[in-house]
A = this chain, B = another copy of it.
């Protein structure tokens, strides 16, 4: 698999800036994470933006879609804030011959107990077996983009209709 990774911000990349006594989206973590894990497939990383997904609009989603279209790879991983992940995923449908998986984290990768590494692993596993299309991988589940929503109250993603897998 040759993988193209597009980072867009979100909780996964949030870090603490003591000088500002504040907490903001920082540099993308995924390149360093995959290097440290010694993954054995070629990948490229492109930072499209550094946004909290609550602050995204249609021009942001068009930009992400353009990045997906432009890259040579068939396999695309997108790290993204969880709030706007389904909306962005839907804006990426109907791109031929691409397997696109969006993932993120509910706790920043900088946190000791973050779900970031697990979710990225899950996304990378799904990418290597899924058919062309758009998917979301969070909470250990891999969802088709047309059958998923974020349950904000319970802070997790769920299928709209329950299916076999």
Contacts and interface: CB of A to CB of B under 8 A. Distances in A.
Interface of A: 1, 11, 14, 16, 18-19, 21-23, 34, 36-41, 52, 54, 75, 82-83, 106-108, 110-115, 117-131, 137, 139-142, 152, 155-158, 164-165
Given A125-B137, A126-B128, A126-B129, A106 B18 contact: yes
Contact of A40 (B36, B111, B140): B140
29 contacts: A1-B165, A16-B107, A16-B111, A21-B83, A22-B23, A37-B118, A37-B140, A41-B140, A110-B111, A110-B112, A111-B111, A117-B117, A117-B118, A118-B120, A119-B121, A120-B121, A121-B121, A121-B123, A121-B124, A124-B125, A125-B126, A125-B127, A125-B129, A125-B137, A125-B142, A126-B126, A126-B129, A128-B165, A129-B129
Name the residue among A83, A127, A131 with the largest chain B CB count within 10 angstroms: A127
Contacts of A14: 16, 23
Given A21-B83, A110-B112, 9 more contacts: A18-B107, A41-B140, A110-B113, A111-B112, A112-B112, A118-B118, A118-B121, A125-B129, A128-B142
